[in-house]
Amino acid sequence: MAVWIDTHCHADASEFDGRWTEVRRRAGLAGVARCVLPAVAVAGFDRLRQLAHAGGDAYALGIHPLCTGSAAEDDVHALDRALEANADDPRLVAVGEIGLDFFVQGLDADRQLHFLRAQLRLAQRFGLPVILHVRRSADVLLRELRRIPVAGGIAHAFNGSRQQAGAFIELGFKLGFGGTVTYERSLRIRQLARELPLSSLVLETDAPDIPPRWLYRTASERADGAAQGCNEPAELPAIGGVLAQLRGLAPDELAQATALNAQAALPRLAALAPAG
């Protein structure tokens, strides 16, 4: 069976309350050897670390840009203390999920930048890669990464241009692709997934979000009572199968390549999930 790594899954999301153990069991049966569990806020750090250890997974600690409105300056200090306290934990693989979101209305861009810069400096100090949230913000993020260079990482749910993709790759980043590639109308993302160097790609679900097309329900279907499908890490092999078909690869070949890429982006993964 192919061995897959889900590089982005929110195990502490409310959709998984009380059932994460079963969700993770299904993923393991599907061939998902490891999940990377990024934090979104300081309040979730302890629980996320516990989930990663219980499931044999990896985790990242950070403050999500969508949470910066409610974050306080002491949260940066709390992240600093958590990174220090867990510096020797092999399952702590990155600082994340951090970044910028210029799509959601009502967010303070300057405040996002303040927290991003503070967290990039922490990643720099602890020698950790970062897991980036990049939503209509690629150029600004690239500027900040050039000003505060870090040890690479992953640009999660990449949705930028070919030029922006190349810039992230030059800075040592891998690009995360997930459920969006399963939609035939996602022309630009599918083209990028098809044409970018295989060595630059990693796979993710962003579970419970970004459901693949077979779980998606339209607004009219939801109005008729159909429930929106909840994405899970167990969907990763099927998502990977779509990407493999786009690239003309066997699924096992894609699984091995993207697992190696994940380990290159997040080096501590290598000791936890040997590819293949």
Annotated binding site: 8, 10, 97, 133, 156, 206
CA distance 153 to 48: 19
Contacts of 251 (CB under 8 A, 6+ apart): 2, 237, 240, 241, 244
Do residues 181 and 193 touch, judged by C-beta distance below 8 A? yes
Do residues 141 and 171 touch, judged by C-beta distance below 8 A? no
CA distance 128 to 224: 47
Place of tokens 């900040």: 144
Sign of CA pseudo-dihedral 122, 124, 130, 135: positive
Tokens of 11: 């195990």
CA distance 43 to 223: 34
Contacts of 265 (CB under 8 A, 6+ apart): 7, 129, 152, 153, 154, 173, 174, 202
Please state the residue numbers annotated as binding site for a divalent metal cation. Answer: 8, 10, 97, 133, 156, 206
CA distance 134 to 175: 11
